[in-house]
């Protein structure tokens, strides 16, 4: 089954449709590459996919192991190289809410860190692409 259909809209914009759900994402070339920067660029989506995959994989792991995780969120920074133009690095700052008991469990935090670092997107990116991952475990409000 095909995953998506991508259609060029002109002026360095494209729309990608997820075929199973019909959800759409518009991309635009970044300002530093002749675009308007009015939407995610394709490389923005690639970098953002790393964080999204980490959060999703952590959610799957937690569900399969009856672990209650609190709020998870990530901030992403994409670092571009110019010759050739490519993503040289992705920095992800992931925050995971845990209960007070979980915050004391070093083994749990080690396992969750390993799960985040081994998500499918992380394993799919070229080894030359520097992945800098920072994970903060924070108290989850009651």
62 shares a domain with 31: no
Q: What is the pLDDT of residues 75-101, one digit of tens each?
A: 999 999 999 999 999 999 999 999 999
22 and 92 housed in the same domain: no
Please indicate, yes or no, whether residues 68 and 33 belong to a single structural domain of this protein: no
The domain tally of the chain equals 2
Range of the domain at 9: 1-40
- Same-domain check for residues 17 and 81: no
> 90: domain CATH number?
3.30.300.20
pLDDT band, very low/low/confident/very high, at 68 (cuts 50, 70, 90): very high
Using the predicted structure, report yes or no on whether residue 51 has a pLDDT greater than 80.
yes
State residue 45 phi and psi, 5-degree precision.
-65, -40
How far, in Å, CA of 139 to CA of 103, rounded? 7
Model confidence at 141: pLDDT above 90:
no
């Amino acid at each position: 089954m095909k995953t998506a259909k991508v259609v060029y809209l002109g002026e360095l914009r494209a729309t990608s449709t997820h075929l199973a759900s019909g959800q759409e994402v518009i991309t635009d070339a970044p300002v530093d590459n002749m675009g308007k920067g009015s939407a995610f660029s394709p490389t923005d989506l690639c970098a953002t996919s790393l964080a999204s995959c980490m959060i999703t994989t952590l959610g799957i792991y937690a569900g399969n192991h009856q672990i209650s995780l609190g709020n998870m969120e990530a901030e992403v920074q994409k670092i571009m190289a110019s010759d050739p133009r490519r993503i040289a690095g992705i920095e992800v700052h992931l925050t995971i809410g845990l209960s007070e008991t979980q915050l004391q469990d070093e083994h749990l935090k080690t396992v969750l860190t390993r799960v985040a670092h081994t998500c499918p997107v992380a394993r799919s990116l070229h080894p030359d692409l520097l992945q800098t991952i920072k994970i903060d475990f924070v108290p989850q409000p009651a």
